[in-house]
Amino acid sequence: YSLGESAGLFAMGAWPDRGQMLKRMQGTDLFTTSLAGRCNAARKAWGIPSNDDVNWCVAIVNRSADRVRQAIKNLPTTRLLIINTTDECVIGGRKIHVEQAIKALGCEAVFLKGVIAVHCDAVEPVAEAYKALHIFPTAQIEGLRFYSCALGKSYELSSESTASSILNQALFGFDFPTIINQAYKDGVRLFLEMGPGSSCTRMIKHILAGKPHFADSACINGEDDYVTIFKTLGRLIAERVPVSLESLYGENANPADDIVWKKTKSTDKITMIVGGKSPIPALPILNARDKKTNAKTQPPENNNQYSGLMKSIAENIEVTSRSHQKFLDFSNKLTKNFAKTFDIQTRLLEAMMRDKNQVPHRNNEIALSRDMCLEFATGSVEKVLGPEFAVVDTYKVRVRLPDEPLMLVDRIISIEGEKGSLGHGKVVTEHDVLSDVWYLDGGHAPVCISVEAGQADLFLCSYLGIDLVVKGERAYRLLDANVIFHAGLPQPGDTIRYEIEIEKFVRQGDTYLFFFNFKGWIDNTLLISMSNGCAGFFTEDEVIHSGGIILTEEDSKPLKGNKMDGWKDLVKLYPESYDDDALEGLRKGDLSRCFGPIFKDINISDSLRLPGGRMKLIDRILSLDPIGGRYGIGSIRAEADIHPDDWFLTCHFKDDMVMPGTLMYECCAHTLRIFIQRIGWVTDKPGVCYEPVEGVESVLKCRGPVTPKTRHVIYEVDIKNLGYAPEPCAIADANMYADGHHIVSFKDMSIKISGITRTEIESFWKEKSNTTHKIQQPKIHHPQPAIFDRNHIVEFATGKPSKAFGARYKPFDSQRFIARLPAPPYSFIDRITSIEPKQCLLEPGGW
């Protein structure tokens, strides 16, 4: 597969001189500037100006070749590079056009790093040099058949044919299913992947699904290399392939002096387990490859169809028995030496790494290390939970912890409960807040991380056996959770200890639910408690047709919000919207770039800036209405663009990419932060930060996911309480929409600015008043009460007409067409105060 073709020629000795290839590569610019880096070959082939970046990128997409060809036909620099399976391809080209192709396909995509610009016409300007690089003297290897990616079949090796094969796949790509199906037609039934990873194994299993075959990888990412090799050899033995273990252990692998292994008496008897896996059907005769022979066919020694099988088993047992003793002796000595070495390394590392990031030493033993938690997240569950979970590794989806950077379980202290029981269980975990960790916001771990770090309910439900029941046909989805913060947010140097309990599992038809809770502590101080947690396991179809968040008439009824007695606006407020560039101003601390001249020359503490980097979670504000929303004291709607390779999708989870519910909350919190900054809650006082209001219970309901197929999400926040206690604090309800579908609601999310009081805020603005008064503000009359406020107008433009006009308009939410108002930024109506005639009454002269 791709570069594996040339690697195979070297590995099998068909190209004997590997050193010559290294010298050639060091003496050419093919892999530095022609096919990588500036990609000058692609630049020349596609006529890209020298001052313009090529931005070559490669992505795997889960769509058929025909659909890919259709999607890219009008994209000048996107190419179909490789066909992986009937419904998976590799595409490449300039990033802007590759992203357009992915959008047109409406598919999931995984971008690959470090892939050179090959398998397409980008190679044409350097074709001769590329072929010359691969011309080597070729040795004929008796008994081996070599396949060409470009030809899609086996071929005879020569210096010319091998170089041409490599060049042609670099120029024209290749069709992997064609190669595998041809090999299968040629009689190949065993496919062993020798290179790093197991992607070819996965593809071969897909291509040959339903046909008798064996495919396995000898080098699986995240699994111990020695374990993988022994597993592979064991599986080959099970497939009746003669295997000798003697080559693994040299003659000098002597036993340790102080251990004597008891040898068992050899026997010539064989114990057979009846009913095991039957041999793969015999391979078809390859007429084209048959060699003529004059030898007469000998009759079989006996008529027992298993005689050959029994002989093979006996030979394997005899060889394995001889080498097993050497393995045990060698393993014992190796283990002793490793223990000594590891102890020395550990003490050296402890002495060298005592810095500000060092976690205080704990004497208590742990059940699982961070490495094992990562193994559970991205590797083998069998390696973590034992052989009874080996079958779970074969499922297409299983419960996992997130991958980096969102794997926040630094250690599992203890586990309670009966493995595989679907009963009650408890797990205690810890998360260390380090001084240079990526997620710090204002010097603290934000709400989303403080909650997400209690993520080991995922581990616990797997430990208790849910994957053994749902068998990869259903995926984990969080449904409900209530969260209360009891103390300020964690800071660097803190270790949060989570006590997570699964109360019970419940089955409803084919659907399984479990109910859970947790508490988080810093030393002896209770930080956070989560109650009424509920998660379930659903098929993709069930999720799609769940109906999302369903609001009753009572849920939508306008209510009166609360501003504390004596409330005074700090600045003039108007309905507004802010584009992407304006929000970048907030990330840089430039308030006037977003909010206008009234905030000119106002500096804010760095800790109050809108986060960037990985925590850049919203792109623009569609609307901010100071008297809008359900409670009439303010509303704000933010939008974010979703990309298939967004970090919070690709890490959460490896085989089931969805946006974490905790991050959805943080997106709403960022939206609320913009609102309270606009009303004037800003300061340049150092050390202040945003935190949740202690003792306020926030209620999450999640009824749909954000996936790589999602394109846009909207966060709608309605303010319900504004005041000082004594720090500025706000309480709001929030709703989240994914491509127009209402999927998440948060009740009573809270925020405060710790470290500052009302008096300080008002004094801050008083000092700025002289400058502010000189600024000409737009004149605005006090509007009449709105029949349709800004939220209704934006909803009618971009969302569900029924939310603007009532239940009679539900057919227009999804089933029927309706003419709409323009969406922001071309939405210029702030409110409607009067309208005639009555709704749904057709009369002339209406206004």
Residue 818 is part of which domain span?
781-847
Q: Which residue has the higher pLDDT, 818 or 455?
A: 455
Output the CA torsion sign for 381, 384, 389, 391: positive
- Dist CA 224 CA 100 (whole Å): 39
Helix (H, G, I), strand (E, B) or coil at 432: strand
Q: Which residue has the higher pLDDT, 247 or 588?
A: 588
Hey, what are 216's tokens?
Answer: 């396995």
Q: Does residue 630 fall inside a structural domain?
A: yes
> Mean pLDDT of all residues in the chain?
85
Same domain (yes/no): 753, 724? yes
Same domain (yes/no): 727, 757? yes
For the cut 80, the answer to whether the pLDDT of residue 750 exceeds it is yes
Same domain (yes/no): 558, 451? no
pLDDT in tens, 32-78: 899 999 999 999 999 999 888 999 999 999 999 999 999 999 999 99
Q: Does residue 291 fall inside a structural domain?
A: no
Q: What are phi and psi of 313, to 5 degrees?
A: -65, -45
Same domain (yes/no): 540, 422? yes
Hey, what are 482's tokens?
Answer: 């209530």
Q: Does residue 681 fall inside a structural domain?
A: yes
Mean pLDDT calculated for residue range 596-613: 94
What pTM does this model have?
Answer: 0.55
- Dist CA 35 CA 25 (whole Å): 12
Dmax (CA) of the chain: 111
- Dist CA 84 CA 65 (whole Å): 9
Same domain (yes/no): 804, 754? no
Active site residue 361: no
Nearest Cα residue to 390 out of 399, 381, 379: 381
Per-position DSSP letters for 168-226, written without gaps between them: HHHHH-EEHHHHHHHHHHTT--EEEE-SSSSHHHHHHHHHTTTS--EEEESS-TTS-HH
Q: What is the DSSP letter of 643?
A: -
Same domain (yes/no): 764, 822? no
Residue 810, burial from CB neighbour count under 10 angstroms (0-12, 13-18, 19+)? middle
Nearest Cα residue to 381 out of 654, 707, 708, 191: 654
Q: Does residue 847 fall inside a structural domain?
A: yes
Catalytic residue among 119, 652, 741, 742: 652
How does residue 321 score in pLDDT terms, banded at 50, 70 and 90? Answer: low
Same domain (yes/no): 770, 787? no
Q: Does residue 503 fall inside a structural domain?
A: yes
pLDDT score, position 254: 52
Q: For 777-797, give the secondary structure using H, E and C.
A: CCCCCCCCCCCECHHHHHHHH
Given a contact cutoff of 8 angstroms between Cβ atoms, the answer to whether 666 and 611 are in contact is no
Question: Chain-centre distance of CA 395, in angstroms?
Answer: 18
pLDDT score, position 295: 40
pLDDT score, position 308: 52
pLDDT score, position 779: 39
Number of domains forming the structure of the chain: 3
pLDDT score, position 834: 80
pLDDT score, position 109: 87
Percent pLDDT > 90 in the chain is: 63
Nearest Cα residue to 531 out of 484, 573, 577, 495: 484
Same domain (yes/no): 706, 805? no
pLDDT in tens, 798-837: 888 888 888 888 888 877 888 999 988 788 898 888 887 7
Mean pLDDT calculated for residue range 769-794: 60
- Dist CA 170 CA 150 (whole Å): 8
pLDDT in tens, 353-387: 433 344 444 546 899 999 999 999 999 999 999 99
Given a contact cutoff of 8 angstroms between Cβ atoms, the answer to whether 714 and 736 are in contact is yes
pLDDT score, position 812: 86
How does residue 352 score in pLDDT terms, banded at 50, 70 and 90? Answer: very low
Q: Does residue 686 fall inside a structural domain?
A: yes
- Dist CA 57 CA 515 (whole Å): 43
Same domain (yes/no): 730, 630? yes
Mean pLDDT calculated for residue range 10-32: 87
How does residue 770 score in pLDDT terms, banded at 50, 70 and 90? Answer: low
Q: Does residue 656 fall inside a structural domain?
A: yes
Same domain (yes/no): 413, 453? yes
For the cut 90, the answer to whether the pLDDT of residue 657 exceeds it is yes
Answer with the one of 522, 544, 566 that is the final residue of a domain.
544
Same domain (yes/no): 774, 805? no
Question: Chain-centre distance of CA 77, in angstroms?
Answer: 27
Nearest Cα residue to 665 out of 741, 745, 730, 728: 745
Q: Does residue 449 fall inside a structural domain?
A: yes
Answer with the one of 729, 756, 778 that is the final residue of a domain.
778
Residues paired with 58 in a beta bridge: 92, 112
Same domain (yes/no): 620, 638? yes
Choose the most confident range, by mean pLDDT, from 130-139, 335-344, 772-781. 130-139
Burial annotation 292-331 (CB, 10 A radius, 16+ → b, else e):
eeeeeeeeeeeeeeeeeeeebeeebeeebeeeeebbebbe
Which residues have C-beta within 8 Å of that of residue 402, sequence separation ≥ 6?
Answer: 377, 408, 455, 651, 652, 653, 660
pLDDT in tens, 708-736: 999 999 999 999 999 999 999 999 999 99
Element (H, E) at 44: helix 40-46
Answer with the one of 722, 757, 778 that is the final residue of a domain.
778
Supply the CATH number for residue 479's domain: 3.10.129.10
Determine the residue type at 236.
L
